[in-house]
Structures are given as C-alpha cells and as structure tokens.
Amino acid sequence: MSTTSQAILSQGGLFEDQDQAPAQMDFFSFAPNLTLPTFGCHQSLKAFSTIPPSLASDSPSSNLSGTLISSATTRDDITSDFIGSQLLSLHRSSANLWAWGDMGDCLASKRDIGGDLDGHHLGVSTLKMKKIKARRKVREPRFCFKTMSDVDVLDDGYKWRKYGQKVVKNTQHPRSYYRCTQDNCRVKKRVERLAEDPRMVITTYEGRHVHSPSHDMEESQAPSQLNNFFW
C-alpha cells in the first residue's frame, strides 16, 4: 500500500451507516448534525481526534459530529495544515448516540421537531427508520465514510485480515470484509466501491479498537497515550 502513488485523494463524508451515504458528493452537507464516535480508525477520522481533547475524549457524552473532507490516504499526509483546511463543520454533540437504536431515535425526533415531512434530505426514509428500530438489539457502534480513492483499502494504521468477500445485490463491485488482527480486538470493517461512481470507496467501521494502531509500535517506538491522542 505504501507503493508509488499515494497522491490519491479523497473527499469523504461521515454517516452512521453505509445505507445513508449519498451517492453524489453534492449531498455532502447531508448530515451535519449526526454524531459520530471518536473511533480513531481511519486517518481522516483521526483528524477528529486532533481537535482539543475536551472534544475528542472517549466519553460517549462528548461525541463529535461534522462533515469531513479529506485529501490523504496515508497518515503522513495529515499535517496540521491539512487538518485546518480539510476538516470542516465540526460540532459538539451533547447526546450519547453510540447505540444504533438511540441513533434512530435521535433522527426521528429531529424530524418531528423540524416537521421535515419528506425527510429526503436526511437520506433516511421512514422505512429505514423501522429497520433501525428493529435492529435495536445490541449493535456495535458503526459508521462509514466515503472517499474518492483508487486504492480500496486505505492505510489507517491498523492491521486487517480479510475474512470474506461478497457480491451484494444491485452492485457490480464486491464488498470485502476485514477484521482487526489484534487479539481481543473485534473491530471489523468493510470496503466497497460504489456502483454509481467507481472512483468512490465506502468504508464502514464497526466496533472500537481496544488498542492503538500497530504501525506505531514498529516504527517510532511505542507512542505515549498522549501522542496516541493524535493518532
């Protein structure tokens, strides 16, 4: 992955589930108020963690939300300039929205308040709301983002092992399933190229890492938890 051209780049957005990722980039402002946990998975997302610790803390009650535009595929690409210029629309959220069900409730109540009947701009149909409710069980926190990239699997500093691949209906690109290789870490991610626009890759993370990125161990010797707050 650290091959020749890293100069890929990417525009991305964050959504709490892949179903909600808009097909077109114009919809980017689509979910400015949705919250997302500070997973610290993908470098783009990690950019969130470079915001003041008060915002990036692990506390579920201080989740971040926003829309992200990034232009890097490697951690080295992330500079403070990058963060300043590429990270957009960051908000603090007071709600605890880790669980899926809660996420659904949040969306639902927002819609009620706003009286937004068509709900189209939110990209969540009433049908889907039901679906979310039905899945209320216990779901790992999950989110996805979309990037424009010619590499499928972006280097996010973690080590992944592929455990499956599937062609899903109505798509011509297979979806790949990965699991974090770290023992006891059950984080999964799936990667899929958009049918509408093959330049776009949708990456969905599920769960939270119980460790820091493995890369850091090898190269620059073990980072302190403080440094780790950056990556």
Distance between CA atoms of 152 and 199, rounded to whole angstroms? 10
> What single-letter DSSP state applies at residue 25?
G
Minimum separation from the CB atom of position 181 to DNA (A): 5
Give the residue with the Cβ less far from DNA, 91 or 159. 159
**Rule CB under 7 A: is residue 172 a binding residue for DNA?**
no
**What character string, x for contact with DNA (CB under 7 A) and - otherwise, covers 94-133?**
-------------------------------------x--
> Which of the ranges 25-33, 47-55, 57-65, 173-181 carries the binding residues for DNA, by CB under 7 A?
173-181
- The answer to whether 188 touches 204, Cβ cutoff 8 Å, is no
Minimum separation from the CB atom of position 53 to DNA (A): 32
**What character string, x for contact with DNA (CB under 7 A) and - otherwise, covers 188-207?**
x-x-----------------
Minimum separation from the CB atom of position 161 to DNA (A): 4
Q: Which run of H or of E encompasses 68?
A: strand 64-68
Minimum separation from the CB atom of position 27 to DNA (A): 22
Q: Are strands 142-148 and 200-206 parallel, antiparallel or unpaired?
A: antiparallel
140: its two tokens: 């790992």
Minimum separation from the CB atom of position 166 to DNA (A): 5
Distance between CA atoms of 213 and 43, rounded to whole angstroms? 10
Distance between CA atoms of 229 and 47, rounded to whole angstroms? 10
Give the residue with the Cβ less far from DNA, 96 or 171. 171
> What single-letter DSSP state applies at residue 180?
E
Minimum separation from the CB atom of position 173 to DNA (A): 13
Question: Which residues in the 130-169 window bind DNA by CB under 7 A?
Answer: 131, 134-135, 159-166, 168-169
Q: Which residues neighbour 215 within 8 Å (Cβ) at sequence distance 6 or greater?
A: 75, 157, 158, 159
Give the residue with the Cβ less far from DNA, 138 or 226. 138
Q: Where are the alpha helices (DSSP H) in the chain?
A: 43-49, 53-56, 80-86, 100-114, 126-134, 214-218, 225-228
Contact footprint for DNA (CB under 7 A): 131, 134-135, 159-166, 168-170, 175, 177, 181, 188, 190
